[in-house]
Amino acid sequence: MPELNNIKNFTRKELIEWINDKTKSFSKNHAFRANQIFLWLYQKKVNSFSEMKNIGDGIRKLLEENFWISSIKKIETKCSEDGSRKYRLLLEDGHSIESVFMPHKNHNTLCISTQVGCGMGCDFCMTGKMGLVRNLETYEIIDQVLTIHNELSEKQRLRNIVFMGMGEPFHNYKNLMQSLEILTDEHGLNFSQRRITVSTSGLIPKIRRFGNEKIKTNLAISLNGARDEVRSKLMPVNKVYNLEGLIKVCRKFPLSSRRRITFEYILIRDLTDSIDDAKCLIRLLQGLKFKINLIPYNSIPGSKYRSPTKEQARKFQKYLLDHRIVAPLRISKGQDIQGACGQLVVKNSFGN
Ligand code: SAH
Ligand code: SF4
């Protein structure tokens, strides 16, 4: 018997092809069937094929013989004083991942993971300290959204998805793209491409490739240092893809008229938070369409780095604002529950 595949690994196009292949003999309207199945999975969010009432017996049997429908288990929810919630979700193989829900006045954002751990080894990041355990399957990326979506009230509807949880999304490129297709499919989860942001540590060939994709989400780049010397110390990826190459690929990145690249910049006391650093940053990004998210460093246990003072963070921000740069200072959400940037970690693969 063939191993069952997870149906949420399939884009709608792939499902149409699959049905096409299997049912030539008894169904002509394959696209319509795939649309119905997607509706059940992503809008009605059913967990079994038997609940798909308007799917004919023949196809339903085929689906049951070839696929399974996953659902992810929540094993822990931590609520922060600022309203954000960190979820620990259990995967089939016993590993767990984390997703963070962040409420805002008029929009809610979900931060999702693409890997268990991360192999990029950034020195300031707790997920990086875990190393890479494995890539997530497409369905595991999608299930984070479905699971958390399910427990929100109508008023808390999710509007934004950010790929800023555990992992380097571009190291799991294929599954990232599959999940983006399902997330933005009008028969799938129907998120606007403009409301999704994929954040990378700066893998140049993948940034180039991403720019040529049909799906156009927002791109964020974790910059964190404006000089190679500092960035290489913080992010080993910079030794392979340095700032010159990174900025060059950003200059060529296709952006529609109202879009810009987001650069994430961690303010670390006495390392990246001086006015000289701000000057360097402005010089580096000159001529690009961009904004800078300033993130005061969140301390992680045993770290040699320190958070900036509030005054210094404000001073840095003011310098950028005075140079007409959009530079929100992101006071990290969920710091008290270790759900803030770079604080996502699962102590061991079974979460103990
Ligand atoms: N791996 C991807 C996406 C997830 S990391 C990437 O690096 O872009 C999400 C963001 O958290 C990154 O911008 C990273 O720079 C930031 N971050 C990691 N550790 C942090 C820490 N200790 N304090 C503040 N920000 C941190
Ligand atoms: Fe990985 Fe991003 Fe953390 Fe770097 S900052 S180790 S790329 S998750």
> Residue 292: which CATH number?
3.20.20.70
Question: 347 lies in a domain?
Answer: no
pLDDT tier for residue 71 given thresholds of 50, 70 and 90: confident
Q: Which one of 98, 100, 120, 164 would you pick to mutate in the ligand 2 pocket, going by the greatest count of ligand atoms within 8 A of its CB? A: 120
**Residue 105 shares a structural domain with residue 30:** no
- 278 falls in which pLDDT band (50, 70, 90)? very high
Of 97, 136, 266, the one to substitute when testing ligand 1's pocket (max ligand atoms within 8 A of C-beta) is 266
200 and 100 in a single domain? The answer is yes
The whole-number average pLDDT for the span 289-299 is 95
**Domain-ending residue, one of 68, 89, 108:** 68
Give yes or no: 341 in active site: yes
% of the chain with per-residue pLDDT over 70: 92
Residue 330 makes CB contacts below 8 A (sequence gap 6+) with 293, 294, 295, 296, 341
Instruction: Return the closest-CA partner of residue 90 out of 144, 145, 149.
Output: 144
Where is the domain boundary, 49, 68, 87?
68
Of 68, 85, 100, the residue at which a domain comes to its end is: 68
- Residue of 199, 241, 269 to mutate, ligand 1, most atoms within 8 A of C-beta: 199
Same domain, 55 and 84: no
Which atom of ligand 2 lies closest to the CA of 128? 6
Average pLDDT over residues 173-180: 98
Q: How many domains does the chain have?
A: 2
pLDDT at 86 over 70: yes
- Name which of 38, 47, 54 is nearest 187 in CA terms: 38
Q: Is residue 106 part of a domain?
A: yes
226 and 306 in a single domain? The answer is yes
Annotated active-site residue in 111, 122, 125, 341: 341
pLDDT of 345: 61
Both 153 and 217 in one domain: the answer is yes
pLDDT, averaged across the chain: 91
Using the mean position of ligand 2's atoms as its centre, give its distance from the Cα of residue 285 in Å. 22
Ligand of minimum distance to the alpha carbon of 199: 1
Are 39 and 158 part of one and the same domain? no
Give catalytic status of residue 181 as yes or no. no
Residue nearest to atom 17 of ligand 1 (CA): 342
Higher model confidence: residue 169 or residue 3? 169
Ligand 1 pocket list (CB less than 6 A): 118, 124-125, 164, 168, 199-201, 222, 224, 264, 266, 295, 297-298, 300, 341-342
Q: Are residues 142 and 269 in the same domain?
A: yes
User: What integer pLDDT is reported at residue 28 of this predicted model?
Assistant: 57
Alpha-carbon dihedral sign for residues 268, 196, 85, 92: negative
342 assigned to some structural domain:
no
Model pTM score: 0.93
pLDDT band at 337 (very low <50, low <70, confident <90, very high): low
Q: How confident is the model at residue 150 (pLDDT cuts 50, 70, 90)?
A: confident
Question: Rounded to the nearest whole angstrom, what is the distance from the C-alpha of residue 92 to the centroid of ligand 1?
Answer: 26
Whether residue 155 sits in one domain with residue 39: no
What pLDDT is attached to residue 350?
30
Point out the ligand 2 atom lying closest to the alpha carbon of residue 199: 2
Q: Residue 73 CB: number of other CB atoms within 10 A?
A: 12
Give the residue-averaged pLDDT of 100-115. Answer: 92
Q: Rounded mean pLDDT of 163-173?
A: 97
Residue 351 has pLDDT above 50, yes or no: no
In a domain, 194, yes or no: yes
Q: Are residues 100 and 207 in the same domain?
A: yes
pLDDT of residue 12 exceeding 70, the answer is: yes
Least confident residue range of 3-7, 113-117, 221-225, 326-330:
3-7
Residue range(s) defining the domain that contains residue 301: 73-337
Which residue minimizes the CA distance to atom 15 of ligand 1? 222
